[in-house]
Amino acid sequence: MLCRFLSRYCSQSKAVGSSAVSDVATLAQALELKTQHKAYNSLEQWLEDRDQWKITQPATALLGEGVPVVPVTHRTLKTAVTDGTHLYVNPQWSKMLDDASRRFVHAHLIWHCAANHCRLPSARDERRWHLACDHQVNTQLLQLGFELPMQAVLFPACIGKTISKVYDWLADNPLMKEESSLDELPWPSGERQDRCGPKLNGSPEAGPLRQYWSERSFRVVRAYAGASSLPAPVASWLLAQWPD
């Protein structure tokens, strides 16, 4: 419909000449809407993933229910990130992913939220903390049956360790500089923060956000603990993320 509008608009511009040219702001607005429309369409597969998960991964589907996937075309977001309220995705980057990698990143972001990883860390090295969080989430996804891409963060020597212990272990890892996450730091700041969404860490909204994910996690455990979509070890780990 939008393309037809643009086509009709251009035809009218040629016919009426300067009177249409003077309305360039309307055309620019339409072009911007078209760009946004394409961006949202490019993420339709993410929504289709959730429909499929209702059958194959119902625990993860329930965790992600109601969390919007938002396209961000600004250069400050190269891959994907979450702030606990939305999943922000660069649609051009998403197009380059195969189906298994896209589903992995999608689930990875949702489980970051469920693990309370969106809170601002007290650790000095935020990148190293993020790698530790990634390792812990990916350990769970592996048990859930998700296919991990080759570049997914996973340290076999640290399976079963807490985030703090993984963080400490990484300090002595000579190859840590070569490690990279598919997603970006879940506590964005500066220009990217302005482009993606409100900063929740340390704000009055942080309490309700924590409560939301705590309640959602307990709901998922009650519904699926012991099932193939939420094996007992993963259910126990999820509950341990919300000790209060």
Query: Does 140 map to a domain?
Result: no
Query: Does 149 map to a domain?
Result: no
**Global model pTM greater than 0.75:** yes
Query: Does 131 map to a domain?
Result: no
Query: Does 83 map to a domain?
Result: yes
More confident residue, 133 or 24: 133
Instruction: Work out how many domains the chain is built from and give that number.
Output: 1
- Position 224 pLDDT exceeds 90: yes
What is the residue range of 78's domain? 44-121+180-240
In which region does residue 224 sit, left (phi positive, over 0), alpha (psi from -120 to 50) or beta (all else)?
alpha
Query: Does 74 map to a domain?
Result: yes
Structure confidence by residue, pLDDT tens digits, 19-68: 444 444 444 444 444 445 555 566 899 999 999 999 999 999 999 999 99
- Position 155 pLDDT exceeds 90: yes
Query: Does 99 map to a domain?
Result: yes
Structure confidence by residue, pLDDT tens digits, 65-103: 999 999 998 888 999 999 999 999 999 999 999 999 999
Query: Does 172 map to a domain?
Result: no
Query: Does 81 map to a domain?
Result: yes
- Position 15 pLDDT exceeds 50: no
